[in-house]
Each structure stands twice: as C-alpha cells, then as structure tokens.
Amino acid sequence: MRVRPLELFLITVTSAITITLALGCGPGPEPVETDCEEGTTPGQPAVNLGTRQDDRFVAFSGESSPLALHSGAQGGQHVYVSTQLYAGKSGRFRERLFLKDGTKELGQGQATVEACDEGWTVSHQITLFIDTATTTGGLLTVETYEIDESGLMRGPKIEASALIRISR
C-alpha cells in the first residue's frame, strides 16, 4: 500500500496535535493549589501578590528575597508566585500576571481560581513564564476578574503590583 503525500501530511499533523494535547501543552491556565484563609478583610474585593513560605502566603515587600528561577523540561524559564484574593463571594476568577520593565514585557502567567465563600483565597505556585534569558526582576502586576462558565469576564478588574527580583 502506498501513502500519498497529502495523506502522510495529515497523519503527521494529527499525530503532532494528539501528542501535544496528551503532554498537557494545550491552551488554558494550569490548575493551582488554593487555600481558604481567615483574617481581616477589606470589605471590598482586593488582591495581593506574594510567595509561599512555610505553607503560608507572604506578601511581597521591598525587602523580599529574590524568587528562585526554575528551568522547564522544554528549555523555558519560570518563577512561582502566589496571590491572595478577597472576592467577597464564591465564584470563578481569572488571575493574569505580567512582569514588565518599563513598557517591555518580560514574562506572563495566568490561573483560574475558585474563590472561597468568605475570607481570603490564596493561590499557591502560579507559574510566571520568563521571556528573556537575562531578566533579573521588574514590576509584577496581577489583574483579577470574575469569569462566567465560558471564561468571559463578568465583573471589574482588581489589580495589584509589586517589584520583584529573580535569582539567577
């Protein structure tokens, strides 16, 4: 049996797509671990940026330690960050992260989070993909907003920013 070039092309493309999806490289944010935490709430929606230390959320400050840089299996680089969301209600929220130096984008990441009914929702280890081999830090911004079942924005954006450093 002889395979024609068009058939060979279609088999190759179909195989490549199947392998890519099987390896988890499909579209959409990665699931992240979340915890519900009690504490003083601001009374209106708010979000904070930080990291996980000793299984607790620690907000970034001017004296925060540099984030450890990790290398992925496909050669990419990333760091892990955490967010602390007070939504004031349960629901599904999208958290989009951007790392910039001035107007130059240096990295990005996102997660979908199920907010807690009350208190704070802490998302641990959101992957922030780093775009350049020389990035040592910048201004990290998170945009958080409620989404509907199809992933479309349902409410206003909540934002927070922090300066971060990356250890190389």
What are the tens digits of pLDDT across the range 155-164?
A: 899 999 999 9
The residues pairing with 57 across neighbouring beta strands, listed in sequence order, are: 52
Q: Residue 105 in contact with residue 98, Cβ under 8 Å? A: yes
pLDDT digits (tens, 9 = 90+) for 83-138: 999 999 999 999 999 999 999 999 999 999 999 998 999 999 999 999 988 889 99
**28-167 — its CATH code?**
2.60.40.10
User: Rounded mean pLDDT of 21-25?
Assistant: 38
Q: What is the residue-averaged pLDDT of the chain?
A: 84
As a whole number of angstroms, the distance between CA 18 and CA 13 comes to 9
* pLDDT value for 24: 38
Q: List the structure tokens of 26.
A: 């499909």
Burial 145-168 (b: 16+ CB within 10 A, else e): bbbeeeeeeeeeebebebebebee
Q: Can you spell out the DSSP letters for 77-100? A: EEEEEEEEEE-SS-EEEEEEEEEE
As a whole number of angstroms, the distance between CA 50 and CA 142 comes to 11
* pLDDT value for 128: 96
Q: How confident is the model at residue 3 (pLDDT cuts 50, 70, 90)?
A: low
Q: What angle do CA 28, 71, 62 make, to 5 degrees?
A: 85
Q: For tokens 């409410």, what's the residue?
A: 155
User: Rounded mean pLDDT of 131-148?
Assistant: 93
* pLDDT value for 55: 84
* pLDDT value for 18: 38
- For residue 56, which of 120, 112, 13, 110 has the smallest C-alpha distance? 120
Instruction: Please enumerate in sequence order all residues whose Cβ is within 8 A of that of 127, keeping only pairs 6 or more positions apart, or say none.
Output: 30, 78, 79, 80, 109
